[in-house]
Amino acid sequence: MEQVTIIGSGHMARAIAVRMLAARHSVQILGRNGEKTRELVESLGAGAQGGGEGAAVEGGIVFLAVPYGEGRNTVLVYGEALAGKVIVDISNPVDLAGFDRLLVPAGTSAVEEIARHASPDAHVVKAFNTCFAKPLEAGSVAGLPLDVFIAGDSEQAKVKVSAVVAASGLRPIDVGPLRRARELEAMMLLVMGLQASPNQDNFNWDTSLKLLP
Amino acid sequence: MEQVTIIGSGHMARAIAVRMLAARHSVQILGRNGEKTRELVESLGAGAQGGGEGAAVEGGIVFLAVPYGEGRNTVLVYGEALAGKVIVDISNPVDLAGFDRLLVPAGTSAVEEIARHASPDAHVVKAFNTCFAKPLEAGSVAGLPLDVFIAGDSEQAKVKVSAVVAASGLRPIDVGPLRRARELEAMMLLVMGLQASPNQDNFNWDTSLKLLP
């Protein structure tokens, strides 16, 4: 049983919390919006507790369940409070006006940007960016466990994240070093473009990317 | 019923041919290696015929079932014989020594390179690059039809390719303009890296990438 911290109080914060609680991990939700955070913690029930931005970080794994652009600020605000922690960036730096480009320069990724601004003693990992809240909360799609692609430069950090992912009923896939997040983020430009397209009836904001068999 | 041409005589040529024949399309195989081409055509049976490099191209859709690097030469060799045709590039420009980088510069893709060298009257489409030969020949994975992601700048060409893909029991997904191939090719750097990794028992050269549900 692990203690995890989730920074954020939106749909992805909820979905990750539900999966972690399903694995009997305890969950700390740290949200800037006090009312939303309280509501989320109450709806999650036993095993969840809440706090405001800047509260003591209790989890060994810290999920940044915030939109792209806020992740960098979040690691700056928490600073050395994240030293020794595993930080999980789930964001997709996709230009939502047009879904035609990424908001990070070629040859880098959102998570590498976050790693450059995080405590040098934190271990930054990319994971969950291909998961959307609804299927993630359910934990499975088409009767199969969701795939969670994990990129990172710390093997130990990836082992930790893989363990909580597997315990929560999902399939962890270690895709290699942190720079592989470039491909994970690129793919989501394409997937989110499909979801946003009025021509694509089959793809709404609830798809899952799976590697079969 | 459509006439398609497949340039190449390897595993992917066979797999595409099997699917096209399943849809009762007729298939022309054009291979540089006469013996391999003959063997493939014979094993495919009724509906398939063969020819050498440079033979008259009979299909309205032409699959370049050749490795990355040969596609450009192929469109140069065939030149104006491909005018008016839909050319389908299936290649993955992945550095097989290390699986750590693409062989095309950032901001472009293998298929865009091919389009620059093809007859200006050809319509170039990216498709099938996320499909591997074994599941493609089978047509399904885990009881589900394979996804075929299709990128291209000609709507008419994508409609044509989508039609033969759907008729052959697969699911066509139009992912937008040709430049979306950048993301499709990037994702396969990651997937092929998993397949090549000795640490990944679950991923051999027979995975399929699917967007669920």
Among the partner-chain residues B142, B144, B183, the one whose CB lies closest to the CB of A187 is: B183
Question: Which pLDDT score is estimated for A59?
Answer: 98
A81/chain B closest Cα distance in angstroms: 33
Class for domain A3-196, per CATH? alpha beta
Interface residues on B facing A, Cβ-Cβ cutoff 8 A: 106-107, 135, 141-142, 144, 149, 173-176, 180, 182-184, 186-187, 189-191, 193-194, 197, 199-200, 203, 206-213
Displacement of CA A29 from its chain's centroid (Å)? 13
- Taking CB atoms and an 8 Å cutoff, what residues of chain B touch A194? 173, 175, 211
Question: Which pLDDT score is estimated for A30?
Answer: 98
Q: pLDDT tens, A161-206?
A: 999 999 999 999 999 999 999 999 999 999 999 999 999 988 999 9
Among the partner-chain residues A182, A193, A208, the one whose CB lies closest to the CB of B212 is: A208
Going by pLDDT thresholds of 50, 70 and 90, the confidence category of residue B139 is very high
**Per-chain mean pLDDT for chain A:** 97
Once rounded to an integer, what is the mean pLDDT over residues B189-203?
95
Q: pLDDT tens, A65-124?
A: 999 999 999 999 999 999 999 999 999 999 999 999 999 999 999 999 999 999 999 999
- Model ipTM value: 0.96
Does the pLDDT at position A32 exceed 90? yes
Question: Which pLDDT score is estimated for A1?
Answer: 80
How is B56-95 classified by DSSP, letter by letter?
Answer: ----SEEEE-S-TTHHHHHHHHHGGGGTTPEEEE----B-
Question: Which pLDDT score is estimated for B54?
Answer: 84
Does the pLDDT at position B160 exceed 90? yes
CA distance B157 to B150: 10
How do the domains of chain A map onto residue ranges? 3-196
